[in-house]
A and B are shown apart, each in its own frame.
Chain A
Amino acid sequence: MKRKVLSFIALSLLAAACHPAKQPTLAPETIYQEPGVSVITSFFNNRQQTISTLYGNAEALKAARGDSNMVAGAVYRLITWKQKGNPLWFGGNINGAVKTIESIQVSGDGVTHYALVSGVATGAPAERTKFVLGLKASVFP
């Protein structure tokens, strides 16, 4: 009896201490991992329900902080994810699965090379290149 009472108390304490154990299934594949590039800027679009982050190499980052993004050697990667509500906070949105990966390189002669690395095209290469090269760097401290 004593044992029963004790285990009952222990169980209720456990139940009270542990919030329902439901760790969500993680999605590490949505993390973009390419050495040598860092964040230039980010943006989102509620009409498309997408979130995007623009990465670039050192040349691209420098260019996006200046007046012109047409700098030889600049490499850009634009990752666009589906946007979804934050499961743990009503009031916020977070990126979901990757939708598209776009790549732009500026070669020595000022010529640009566009490639849709993954996903379905959302615009003509010339249009997309113009848009990406027009993005300015976010302010970092």
Chain B
Amino acid sequence: MGSISLKKASKTTIITVIVVVLMISLQFSSPTIQHPPITGAFNGPDSVTAILKRACYDCHSNETRVAWYHKIAPISWLVAADVKAARSRLNFSQWDSLPAADQQGMRWYIENIVEQGRMPLAAYTAVHSSARISAADTRILKNYVLAVASPKPAAATRAAAKPATPGTLPVAPNGIAYTPDYKNWKVISTTNRFDNGTMRVIYGNDIAVKAIQQGKIRPWPNGAIIAKVVWNQQPADQDGNILTGDFNNVQLMFRDDKKFKDTGGWGYARFNGTALAPYGKTPMFSQTCASCHRLAADNGFVFDIPTKK
């Protein structure tokens, strides 16, 4: 008996030693979080900045507060990866470098991502309870985005009603071509946005409409296509009707769970202006589409479908 437990003990000792040595050697390659200078900090009302500093700045700014245990591998790896990814997407220390229109869009994105409880990351609030967002915080953020936003209505007229459809169909950087076919599809919803002063009609092809009728949208069937046509709003007429102004863009979503695996099974494309100029410089543009559309995960990543509530 004695010899067995001795054997066991020495085994445990050996494993412990190996783990300790491994841990120590890990520390030599452990990443350190840099604090680059703050070039153009976010400036909103104090009540808003206070929330963001408390709940977001550890990841989304150059003012990351590093606790001692953040410096220990493997935690340091996880923290550094989060901070790197978070700063690359949204950095409040470089807020000024975003064009005004992107700042405007980002404010609403922030409000929505927080309201849905997707940010700050749950793993983070589990440890940093002070970073949790309360109902009062959400109200402050809502009032803030509403106060900052007042998109100007477009001109009271609209440009020529019959732009020529180009001879060859434009293609987005990820290889998705524009299709005018949606004009013969069913309209699945009609929407307008008070965050950016546009209005939209959303079409679905037969596969998409059938999926809605059968309630099978998680996931959507392959072959479903959704098209959204966007116009600027005209100022309201004397009865309060707001009509479409100039044409703005067309956005498309193609369902193919294999081909578009990297973007949640949807292939995204956007074409701007009556010239239908493809949006995005590299195929990576569709990652930004897919990121935001995760907020519609309940609907299989599609926001605008008719629901009872």
Interface residues of A (CB under 8 A from B): 19, 22-28, 30-33, 38-39, 41-48, 51-53, 65, 81, 86-96, 135-141
Contacts and interface: CB of A to CB of B under 8 A. Distances in A.
A21 to B, nearest CB: 8
B263 to A, nearest CB: 17
Nearest to A93: B192
Contacts of B271: 141
24 contacts: A23-B298, A23-B299, A24-B298, A26-B305, A27-B306, A33-B186, A33-B209, A39-B187, A41-B244, A44-B199, A44-B241, A46-B240, A81-B190, A87-B309, A91-B108, A91-B111, A92-B303, A93-B192, A93-B193, A139-B158, A140-B163, A141-B165, A141-B247, A141-B250
B215 interface: yes
Nearest to B218: A23
Given A88-B299, A92-B192, A92-B193, A31 B241 contact: no
B203 to A, nearest CB: 8
A37 to B, nearest CB: 10
Interface in B190-217: 190-196, 199, 201, 209, 212-213, 215, 217
A137 B196 CA distance: 22
A95 B189 contact: yes
Q: What's the interface size class on B, roughly?
A: 35 or more
Contacts of B303: 86, 88-89, 92
A41 B257 CA distance: 33
Contact of A88 (B186, B229, B295): B295
Contact of B241 (A45, A81, A138): A45
B4 interface: no
A141 B270 CA distance: 13
B209 A141 contact: no
Contact of B215 (A26, A86, A140): A26
Contacts of A39: 183, 187, 201
Nearest to A46: B240
A91 to B, nearest CB: 3
Contacts of A27: 306-308
Which residue, of B142, B180, B241, B296, has the highest number of chain A Cβ atoms within 10 A?
B241
A42 B192 CA distance: 10
Contact of A90 (B108, B212, B218): B108
Contacts of B183: 38-39, 140
Given A46-B242, A91-B195, A25 B307 contact: yes
Shortest 5 CB-CB contacts between residues of A and residues of B = A91-B195, A47-B240, A139-B247, A24-B307, A27-B306
B108 A31 contact: no
Residue among B187, B215, B295, B297 with the highest chain A CB neighbour number at 10 A = B187
Nearest to A25: B308
Nearest to A123: B239
B266 to A, nearest CB: 15
Interface string B103-122: 00000100110011000000
Contacts of A42: 190, 199, 201, 244
B244 to A, nearest CB: 4
